[in-house]
């Protein structure tokens, strides 16, 4: 790209490892301008000596070797490893500011450090995750969570639901819209002109011809047949226990799993610490780390920045693909 994209990096839960991971972005040279959103004093304190920090000025990029921080103040001082419900709305303010900048065009995309769902809910804000929050705040009726890493791309038909609620949530309209979003973003944001998608069944052995469940027959297969008739390359429904073998994976560019713990354990086994969570279907680019707040590591200097680096790399790549896309 002739112009470096500007990315917003939210520093996440202040008691977790997010602030110190963001400070470590200076350890690499990036083909982008990275703006960390957070309390400048907090980030400076977690960064350690020798890290130069400058407040963000939109039309004045910082010199090399300086961490650019868009300052948003904590509600109360934060102690590493100790959650405080008083700072829950600060965490949401980081997301809101990054999202506003992406919508306005100030930022080409956003990368999110981990948040703690429980402490946000304790503050009186129902919160099931970044994915759902960003969908609500962009009035996006359906988004798709996809994790990328270890040579895999695994998207989910349902996200943070109790297992008992999954079958009823997988309807023909929802599955069709999910596959359309996945297909469109693989084309527009991953630069795959004709993506091949492997679709898992819901039940063991993909239902075994109806003997172990009928969702494959009554829901999944009719959707796949309709979309294949439009030209989409879809393989399935496939038994999940054999979908992730190398021979099958070679036939696809991405996998659609039916629920969270069907697809993500395999991907995290292959890539934990270097995986990326991507929200598809939003009007903005959003990537995230694949791990949690790691309160036990916060402030220790031992947290691994690999997943954050991978999330930034992917956001830069997606911004470039979008800039090149005729859509």
> Which DSSP string do the residues of 23-76 spell out, in sequence order?
HGGGGS--SSEEEEEE-HHHHHHHH-TT-EEEE--TTSPPPTTEEEEEE---SS
Reported confidence tier of residue 19, pLDDT bands at 50, 70, 90: very high
pLDDT for the residue numbered 326: 54
pLDDT for the residue numbered 3: 78
Contact 203, 211 (CB under 8 A): no
For the chain, the domains span: 1-140+282-327, 142-280
The answer on pLDDT for 287 being more than 90 is: yes
Reported confidence tier of residue 208, pLDDT bands at 50, 70, 90: very high
pLDDT for the residue numbered 313: 96
The model carries a pTM of 0.91
Topology of the domain covering 1-140+282-327: Isopropylmalate Dehydrogenase (3.40.718)
Neighbours of 265 (CB within 10 A): 14
Mean pLDDT within 113-119: 96
Least confident of 47-56, 99-108, 200-209: 47-56
Mean pLDDT within 84-94: 98
Mean pLDDT within 216-222: 98
The answer on pLDDT for 327 being more than 90 is: no
pLDDT for the residue numbered 50: 81
pLDDT for the residue numbered 222: 98
The answer on pLDDT for 322 being more than 90 is: no
Q: In whole angstroms, what separates CA 290 from the centre of its chain?
A: 8
Which CATH superfamily is 142-280 part of? Isopropylmalate Dehydrogenase (3.40.718.10)
pLDDT for the residue numbered 129: 87
Contact 20, 42 (CB under 8 A): no
Least confident of 2-11, 228-237, 304-313: 2-11
Q: Which two tokens stand for residue 132?
A: 């759902």
Reported confidence tier of residue 123, pLDDT bands at 50, 70, 90: very high
Nearest of 68, 65, 51, 261 to residue 156 by alpha carbon:
261
Helix (H) or strand (E) holding 92: helix 88-104
Question: For residue range 33-50, what is the model confidence (pLDDT) as tens digits?
Answer: 999 999 999 999 999 778
Reported confidence tier of residue 1, pLDDT bands at 50, 70, 90: very low
The answer on pLDDT for 55 being more than 60 is: yes
Q: Where are the beta strands (DSSP E) in 157-298?
A: 196-200, 233-238, 254-257, 276-280, 286-289
The answer on pLDDT for 252 being more than 50 is: yes
Average confidence score pLDDT of the chain: 94
Query: What is the percent of the chain where pLDDT is above 90?
Result: 88
Mean pLDDT within 311-317: 97
Q: Which two tokens stand for residue 309?
A: 């680096």
CA pseudo-torsion sign 73, 17, 310, 136? negative
Whether 142-280 and 1-140+282-327 are alike in CATH topology: the answer is yes
């Amino acid at each position: 790209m002739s112009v470096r994209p500007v990315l917003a990096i939210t520093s996440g839960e202040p008691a977790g490892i997010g602030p110190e991971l963001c400070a470590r972005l200076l350890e690499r040279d990036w083909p982008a301008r990275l703006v960390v959103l957070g309390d400048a004093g907090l980030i400076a304190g977690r960064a350690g000596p020798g890290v130069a920090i400058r407040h963000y000025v939109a039309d004045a990029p910082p010199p090399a070797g300086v961490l650019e921080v868009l300052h948003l103040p904590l509600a109360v001082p934060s102690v590493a490893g100790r959650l405080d419900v008083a700072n829950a709305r600060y965490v949401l303010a980081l997301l809101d500011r990054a999202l506003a900048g992406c919508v306005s065009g100030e930022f080409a995309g956003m990368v999110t450090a981990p948040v703690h769902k429980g402490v946000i809910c304790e503050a009186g804000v129902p919160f099931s995750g970044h994915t759902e929050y960003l969908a609500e705040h962009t009035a996006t009726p359906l988004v798709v969570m996809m994790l990328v890493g270890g040579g895999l791309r695994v998207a989910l038909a349902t996200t943070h639901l109790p297992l008992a609620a999954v079958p009823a949530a997988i309807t023909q309209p929802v599955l069709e819209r999910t596959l359309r979003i996945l297909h469109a973003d693989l084309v527009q944001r991953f630069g795959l002109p004709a993506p091949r998608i492997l679709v898992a069944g819901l039940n063991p052995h993909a239902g075994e011809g109806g003997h172990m469940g009928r969702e494959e027959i009554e829901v999944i297969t009719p959707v796949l047949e309709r979309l294949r008739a439009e030209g989409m390359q879809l393989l399935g429904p496939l038994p999940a226990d054999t979908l992730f073998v190398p021979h099958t994976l070679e036939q696809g560019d991405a996998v659609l799993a039916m629920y969270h713990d069907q697809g993500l354990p395999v991907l995290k086994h292959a890539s934990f610490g270097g995986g990326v969570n991507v929200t598809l279907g939003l009007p903005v680019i959003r990537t995230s780390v694949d791990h949690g707040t790691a309160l036990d590591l916060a402030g220790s200097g031992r947290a691994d920045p690999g997943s954050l680096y991978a999330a930034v790399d992917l956001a830069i790549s997606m911004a470039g693909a979008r800039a090149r896309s005729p859509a």
